[in-house]
Amino acid sequence: MPERSGAHVSPDASLADDVTLGPGAVIHASVTIGPGSAVGACAVLHPGTVLGSRCLVEDNAVLGKRPRLRPGSSARGDTGDLVVSDDVTICAGAVVYAGARIGAGSIVGDQAHVRERSVVGALTVIGRGTTVDFDTHVGDRVSIQTLVYLTALSVVEDDVFIGPGVTTTNDDTMGRHPRGSGLAGPVLRRACRIGGGAVLTPGVEIGAEAFVAAGAVVTCDVESRAVVVGVPARVVRRVRDEDLLDRWR
């Protein structure tokens, strides 16, 4: 029988026989945990969380948190349950909200936040302290470094690289818009690369295999394979054939 001493497990939770729980872990009602998974000390799995097989939830992580929103928040909407696929690691202190989806083999770093209704694809890494805001879609094999902010409604396609400290935005008016008017997160196309500390303004599209230099401020769309630098970002050349992703697999 696995070690579960000191954990608090609802009788309405469903845990495989070999699941291990650290001291102080809290497993609420209607939680499902697959075989071979482990939950660390003082981690909390809220009602409705589904955790796949061979997952690791480290100490003090919180899964399935329900959002608290101010009146009129653009984040309002149905939440649903959190679903975490097989072989996922949720690192220490991370918070993954109800309604999110985490793909197989992905890693959510220490103190990262993944908000409601966001989707993270397979084999993707979310760096320490990074926020993936609500209704964001992140593809497969994406590498997101430390302290990135992915604003709500962002789209990140497969194989994208996002350097440390990148900031994205989705509201040109900074809150002074009619209630219910649409926000516009950035779109990052396949295999583009965003350098550390870059800023992407609302609604910009970064083309496939494009390269945004560190510290650039992107205020308009970037064509596929363009290399942009500066404030505001300007095109200086194109990505060479030998630097395309398929050459580096």
The DSSP bridge pattern shows strands 226-229 and 234-238 to be antiparallel
Beta bridge partners of 182: none
pTM of the predicted model, to two decimals?
Answer: 0.94
**In a structure prediction context, what are the per-residue pLDDT tens digits for the chain, which is 249 residues long?**
355 779 999 999 999 999 999 999 999 999 999 999 999 999 999 999 999 999 999 999 999 999 887 676 666 767 889 999 999 999 999 999 999 999 999 999 999 999 999 999 999 999 999 999 999 999 999 999 999 999 999 999 999 999 999 999 999 888 777 776 678 999 999 999 999 999 999 999 999 999 999 999 999 999 999 999 999 999 999 999 999 999 987
Distance, in Å, from the CA atom of 109 to the CA atom of 200, rounded to the nearest integer, reads 23
Distance, in Å, from the CA atom of 144 to the CA atom of 123, rounded to the nearest integer, reads 11
pLDDT at 78: 77
Distance, in Å, from the CA atom of 21 to the CA atom of 25, rounded to the nearest integer, reads 6
DSSP helix/strand/coil, 90: strand
| Residue 238: CA count within 13 A, CB half-sphere | 7
Torsion, Cα of 126, 131, 132, 135 (10° steps): 160
pLDDT at 34: 98
pLDDT at 177: 73
Find out whether 163 and 197 touch, Cβ atoms under 8 Å.
Answer: yes
pLDDT at 68: 84
pLDDT at 1: 37
Distance, in Å, from the CA atom of 37 to the CA atom of 59, rounded to the nearest integer, reads 14
Query: Which tokens belong to 6?
Result: 């000191």
pLDDT at 114: 98
